[in-house]
């Protein structure tokens, strides 16, 4: 009973509103609480995810992930919450070195999908765990190839609105899974949280993992 109760007491804070990341953590049995950064009245803005001029995808996703972890740890201290590990993640898509973030409109989403059509692109997914003054980070890089997409197919996909709030205007776990003819790397990383890397990081903080 003592061991069982000890396991129950382990939890982490998730610095993300992504339902995909919540789903993935539940999949591997990680006990977590949401840490909604933008809900803190002492913070006026969330993490600025605008790429710097000339910034490449890998340093960009590392920078944003670390900033989310830092802000999450700061929020923990401001709210006097129990000190459990803070998990942050960031995912971006890159084609020919160009960062494809979350589309601002249906038109931008359509343009992204046209460019990805029939091409290989990379998905960079960084994850960080922070506790106190210590932060550890890992990066997953996957290559994804889309089939050639007709304009009609793109327009039908846009009607689903699945592109909203997703880097590259698609989510592998939804209808766009049918666009992918090749994947080298991490399925969960493309989805938004590389599970192998996440578990490795949590183990470094002595968190019980599968």
Q: Provide the pLDDT for residue 9.
A: 60
pLDDT digits (tens, 9 = 90+) for 16-73: 889 999 999 999 999 999 987 655 444 444 788 999 999 999 999 999 999 999 999 9
How far, in Å, are 31, 91, 207 from residue 87 at the CA level?
12, 14, 12
Q: How far apart are CA 111 and CA 103, in angstroms?
A: 9
Q: Provide the pLDDT for residue 47.
A: 84
How large is the average pLDDT for residues 103-131?
97
Q: Provide the pLDDT for residue 36.
A: 73
Per-residue pLDDT band for 209 (boundaries 50, 70, 90) equals confident
Q: Provide the pLDDT for residue 45.
A: 46
Q: Which of 46, 48, 53, 90 is catalytic?
A: 90
Residues 6+ apart with CB under 8 A from 77: none
Q: Provide the pLDDT for residue 181.
A: 98
How far, in Å, are 31, 87, 156, 199, 208 from residue 7 at the CA level?
9, 18, 46, 16, 7
Q: Provide the pLDDT for residue 37.
A: 61
Per-residue pLDDT band for 201 (boundaries 50, 70, 90) equals very high
| 48 catalytic per annotation | no
100: helix, strand or coil: strand
How large is the average pLDDT for residues 99-111?
96
What is the 3-state secondary structure of 160-198?
A: HCCCCCCHHHCCCCCHHHHHEEEEECCHHHHHCCCHHHH
User: What's this model's pTM, rounded to 2 decimal places?
Assistant: 0.90
């Amino acid at each position: 009973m003592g061991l069982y109760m000890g396991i129950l007491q382990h939890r982490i804070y998730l610095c993300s509103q992504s339902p995909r990341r919540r789903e993935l953590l539940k999949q591997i049995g990680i006990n977590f609480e949401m840490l909604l950064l933008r809900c803190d009245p002492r913070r006026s803005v969330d993490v600025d995810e605008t790429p710097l001029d000339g910034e490449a995808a890998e340093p960009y996703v590392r920078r944003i992930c670390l900033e989310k972890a830092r802000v999450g740890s700061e929020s923990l201290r401001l709210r006097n919450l129990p000190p459990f590990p803070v998990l942050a993640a960031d995912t971006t898509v890159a084609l020919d070195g160009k960062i494809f973030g979350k589309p601002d409109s249906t038109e931008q989403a359509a343009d992204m999908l046209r460019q990805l059509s029939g091409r290989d692109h990379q998905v960079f997914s960084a994850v960080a765990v922070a506790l106190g003054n210590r932060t550890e980070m890992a990066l997953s890089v996957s290559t994804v190839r889309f089939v050639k997409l007709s304009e009609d197919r793109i327009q039908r996909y846009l009607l689903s609105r699945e592109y909203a709030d997703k880097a590259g205007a698609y989510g592998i776990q939804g209808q766009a899974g049918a666009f992918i003819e090749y994947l080298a790397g991490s399925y969960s990383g493309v989805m938004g949280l590389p599970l192998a890397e996440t578990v490795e990081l949590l183990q470094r903080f002595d968190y019980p993992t599968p």
